[in-house]
Structure 1
Amino acid sequence: MVTDPGLRHWRDPVTDIGHLAEVAGRVRASVETVIDGKGEAITTALVVLLSEGHLLIEDVPGVGKTMLAKALARSIDARVRRIQFTPDLLPGDVTGVSVYNQGTRDFEFRPGPVFANIVVGDEINRAEPKAQSALLECMEEHQVTVDGVTYRLEPPFMVIATQNPVEMEGTRALPEAQRDRFTARISMGYPSPAAEMAMLDSHGSNNPLTGVTPVTDAAEIIRLVALVRTVHVSPEVRQYIVDLVGATRAHPDVSLGASPRAALHLIRTARARAALDQRAFVLPDDVQEMAIPVLAHRLLAHPEILLSGEPATEVCGRILADILDRVPVVRPGGARPLRHGR
């Protein structure tokens, strides 16, 4: 019996998973009209959307971070708001403020841009910590508290934030609590020569975002999210996730490992990844596909490891690759551990 109200219009698991893949395919095709040659980044963005998460896109300026965020937002018929994070941004500029109304002689709340289904936060690491902290409650609890009054954020709710590397001028590292609330982090990277040539042809004379139209809506995304929650995760795969997260805390090169929230985000994204592959169950491969995007940005390497000058993102990615090679997958029934082929 279906107990989740978000699934009351669905028919059977096989048909529903196929429908999810079809909708995701439409969104992917819409985004690819703007972003060419970045299939992995687009897939991760779709996984985060379907797992009720938030996405952090980090890379150097000019490689399409904001374009990807805007293209994904415009492909969904939902309320979309953009926040440009600057050093003078205040928390009230994000959440909203209470303003005195002389007519009613009372304060009334004016919602900020965070009251939307998809919030695009541009260059989030250029703002002061007090402005960044305005998103903490929003991202974790889907609510905003202003002057002691709590306001709910309507689903679906997703924050897509971009940031430049901390080595860039005018940036600052996001606090650990802020990074931990982002489900996954991706990097765009430079396009291939062929993709860059196609970009010059298609983007040189007009804005490609003007041709992006919605291919689904917020109500359908809510139903797809509810469907992803029903994807089966076996006890062995759950144990594998716990072992991976635990290994980050015990690794000799790590001073701060992944949190329990990271394990929750990993299982949710693994479910969404399986659903995109039209499976109603999670494989260890799904966990391994999402492990680096979900876990790497949460780790803190020991300072002496970073003395070589290697960027922290690459160091943490290398550490996780080592963990994935070392942590075995447990066979069903509690048999001897078996290293899963990657």
Structure 2
Amino acid sequence: MSESDVQEIDQEQDLAGLENEDDLALVARMREGREQLVEEIRKVIVGQDSVVEELLIALFSGGHCLVTGVPGLAKTLLIKTVADILQLNFSRIQFTPDLMPSDVVGAEIVEEDAGHRRLVFVKGPIFTNILLADEINRTPPKTQSSLLEAMEERQVTAAGVTHQMSDPFFVLATQNPIEQDGTYPLPEAQLDRFMFKIELGYLSEAEEVEVVSSTTRVIDRTVAHPLSGEDILAFQRVARQVPAAKSVVEYAVRLVHATRPQSDRAPEYVNDWVSWGAGIRASQNLILAGKVRALLHGRFNVAYSDIKALAPSVLRHRIILNFHAEAERITPDELVRRLLNDVPQEIAS
């Protein structure tokens, strides 16, 4: 079955998924809002169009992002710009080796009032809409783990009391992939909670000329605010109504299964190079992000092309390679490229 056949089948499901006129208007608003957001981001950020698209897909999906790149590629500036445009509450934590969990989630302090003492929970910077976890791999796993509950369940438990997070809530973390002194590898449980691992590359020569020209003179970088937090929450709700054909879901699951050693779907090179493959969150994120990408590209159904386009960012941080792969200089991205070529879209019945 070709991709066009899948789309024709899904057209029959469109009305079941998005039959409300308000929903269709919301989809139109999402596409318009995406264009407005990109226009505002470009006032500050030059290039990185694919990175911006994936970051917006994560926001519209309700997912968290890990942004990786060498110093000076505007990782932090990109995240701060998005928060500014959306006018969401924003907190930045500079992760350092001496950072403690209480510096992230907050702590109980003794408060005295009219001679009476009581414990009061003072919320930490995690209680925000967008949390920039800058250089997240520079703090020990004990402090990194303070993000786990908030990222998955949108709540924080302290001293036996559960505190709900604000909606929307995103963790957008950065890390430097080349400077490893004084860093701590992110635990697999932490990595798995990021929908995407987005890698920033160097700009082209023309783009770098534009950056240098614009940053070495006086320029107005004031941005407009086309969308709000309420808009983002509405986009997240409508995206989940987008239908995905069973064959497309099966392809996403088949692709994820192929990353797991000893799986009957795994090619021989996966058994040779991979210690641990991606878990079920990878399959879920492929479909959910695929729904948002489909809407942003003018479609009301998820296509194979959506899964293939998003697979590198969804899978690269969920595949743990062994020393054989490292000896042969195989990277997770190279493995995903091979799987996209080798895993069939359809299985003959």
TM-score, normalization by structure 1: 0.89
1:37 paired residue number? 47
* The one of 253, 258, 262 aligned to 2:278: 258
* The one of 76, 82, 90 aligned to 2:92: 82
1:340 paired residue number? none
| CA distance in 1 between partners of 2:155 and 2:173 (Å) | 18
Q: Does the CA-based 8 Å contact 1:122-1:163 persist in structure 2?
A: yes
2:306 paired residue number? 286
For 1:168-220, what per-residue CA distance to the aligned partner results, in whole angstroms no more than 9, with x for missing partners?
A: 33222211111111100111111111111111111123587x52342211011
1:110 paired residue number? 122
Matched residue SS, 1:34? coil
2:66 matched to 1:56?
yes
Q: Does the CA-based 8 Å contact 1:59-1:65 persist in structure 2?
A: yes
2:38 matched to 1:22?
no
Change over 3 Å in CA distance of 1:165–1:217 after alignment to 2 = same
Identify unmatched segments of 5+ residues in structure 2: 1-16, 261-265
Identify unmatched segments of 5+ residues in structure 1: 1-6, 338-342
For 1:1-342, list aligned pairs within 5 A. 11-103=21-113, 104-165=116-177, 167-205=179-217, 210-249=221-260, 250=266, 251-252=270-271, 253-308=273-328, 310=329, 315-330=331-346, 336=348
Q: Does the CA-based 8 Å contact 1:95-1:112 persist in structure 2?
A: yes
Matched residue SS, 1:248? coil
For 1:251-288, what per-residue CA distance to the aligned partner results, in whole angstroms no more than 9, with x for missing partners?
A: 22211000111111111111111111121110010011
Matched residue SS, 2:128? coil
Q: Percent identity?
A: 38
Q: Does the CA-based 8 Å contact 1:17-1:280 persist in structure 2?
A: no
For 1:78-129, what per-residue CA distance to the aligned partner results, in whole angstroms no more than 9, with x for missing partners?
A: 1111111111111011111111111141111111111111111111011111
For 1:227-269, what per-residue CA distance to the aligned partner results, in whole angstroms no more than 9, with x for missing partners?
A: 1111111111111111011000032221100011111111111
The one-letter amino acid paired with 1:211 is T
For 1:281-339, what per-residue CA distance to the aligned partner results, in whole angstroms no more than 9, with x for missing partners?
A: 1001001111110011110011121024x4xxx71001011111111112xxxx737xx
TM-score, normalization by structure 2: 0.88
Q: Does the CA-based 8 Å contact 1:13-1:280 persist in structure 2?
A: no
How far the C-alpha of 1:64 sits from its partner, in A, is: 1.1
Moved beyond 4 Å, runs of 4+: none
How far the C-alpha of 1:166 sits from its partner, in A, is: 5.4
The one-letter amino acid paired with 2:284 is L
For 1:33-65, what per-residue CA distance to the aligned partner results, in whole angstroms no more than 9, with x for missing partners?
A: 111111000000001101110010011111111
